[in-house]
Amino acid sequence: MGAYAYRAPSSVEEALSTLAAEAAAGNRAQMLAGGTDVMVQMRSIDKGPRTFVDVKHVAEANELCIGTDEVFIGAAIASAVLNESQELKSILPGLIEAADLIGSTQIQGRATIGGNLCNSSPAGDTIPALIACGAVCVIASSGGNREVPTEDFVTGVGTNVLEPTEFLVGFKIPRPKGRTSDAYLRFIPRTEMDIAVCGAGVALTLDDSGVCTAAKVSIGAVAITALVVPDAAAALVGTTVDDAALAAAADASSALAKPITDKRGTVEYRRKVVGVLTKRAAAIARDRALAL
């Protein structure tokens, strides 16, 4: 217990120099986005002194750019803002629905997908969705920006590749082309205000005849980090994403899952249901792609 300090840099440069100065002074610095995890943790499990560095005022982290080849989503943009972009919702419906699953409407006024990733919970809802749509993390570092695929960002429960002097600026996502769409589903015992027992994100591309030409499947809350499931994607590619392909994708997710038994579910339960979610998310992504 002790003092808390708060800094609100307005640029990447200023944020990096703030982080460097705090590190040099031997202070603990923690990036703050929506605060919907950090504030709760500060009041309950991690009360130690630190300097909060608020990313919400960093200009680059608030950029939203929907280009012809690439989408950039700043790490500080509130989920509610993303949810209001009809264009984003139409091209990345799975990612936006994942963001929309986190917290209530009020919470979404603060919460960010960047914060969700940096919190690095195994159950973070946007993580499998980001992985599925091929998001790359843009990390501000003293030597310039570095880029890390989302599936390589989280290293363990609550840990990630960020150095104490680095922070996440945003995500680069290839703009979906042609009949490409995505979907994310999570399982919770309630309808909202809960944490995923397991989750599955699927992005896929169909050709003119409805045959899947590319797919990426990622599952959450069934291992210490979200997992990419290459076998599930392989089961979908080359098919019309029919029941047999869906069943095979489900089996692939169940097979790869390495869940634990805890108060939210058993190993057996998670293993089975993550397959069910994979199948259902893939069917939704297929139907969305077909409608394009």
Contact range with another protein by CB under 8 A, out of 108-116, 160-168, 230-238, 272-280: 272-280
Looking at the Cβ atoms of 196 and 227, the one nearer to another protein is 196
Please pick, from the candidates 24, 26, 143, 190, the single residue that binds another protein as defined by CB under 8 A: 190
Closer CB to another protein, residue 9 or residue 275?
275
Q: Is 237 in the site for another protein (CB under 8 A)?
A: no
- C-alpha 114, offset from chain centre: 7
Distance between CA atoms of 155 and 229, rounded to whole angstroms?
Answer: 17
Which one among 191, 208, 209, 291 touches another protein, defined by CB under 8 A? 191
| 276 is a contact residue toward another protein (CB under 8 A) | yes
Total residues contacting another protein by CB under 8 A comes to 20
* Contact with another protein (CB under 8 A) among 63, 194, 231, 251: 194
143 binds another protein (CB under 8 A): no
Instruction: Examine residue 264 and tell whether it contacts another protein (CB under 8 A).
Output: yes
- Degrees, nearest 5: CA angle 177-131-14: 100
Sole residue written with tokens 């994708």: 249
Q: Do residues 225 and 238 touch, judged by C-beta distance below 8 A? A: no
Of the pair 148, 276, the CB lying nearest another protein is at 276
Q: Which is nearer to another protein, 70 or 268 (CB)?
A: 268
Return the number of the residue (152 or 194) whose C-beta is nearest another protein.
Answer: 194
Which position among 21, 42, 161, 195 is part of the footprint of another protein (CB under 8 A)? Answer: 195
Distance CA 22, CA 97 (A): 37
Which tokens is 116 given? 């969700």
Q: How far is 159 from 34, CA to CA, in rounded Å?
A: 18
Q: Give me the least distance between CB of 164 and another protein, in Å please.
A: 26
Angle ∠(233,92,133) on CA atoms, nearest 5: 35
Q: Which of 74, 46, 90 lies closest to 180, judged by CA? A: 90
Please report how close the Cβ of residue 193 comes to another protein at its closest, in angstroms: 5
From 5-13, 22-30, 142-150, 270-278, give the range in contact with another protein by CB under 8 A: 270-278
- Of 176, 282, 177, the residue nearest 237 (C-alpha): 282
Q: What are the beta bridge partners of residue 112?
A: 78
3-class SS letters over 52-65 = EEEHHHCHHHHCEE
Smaller CB distance to another protein: residue 103 or 170?
Answer: 103
**How crowded is residue 149: how many other Cβ atoms within 10 Å of its Cβ?**
13
Residue ranges that bind another protein, judged by CB under 8 A: 1, 187, 189-195, 197, 262-266, 268-269, 272-273, 276
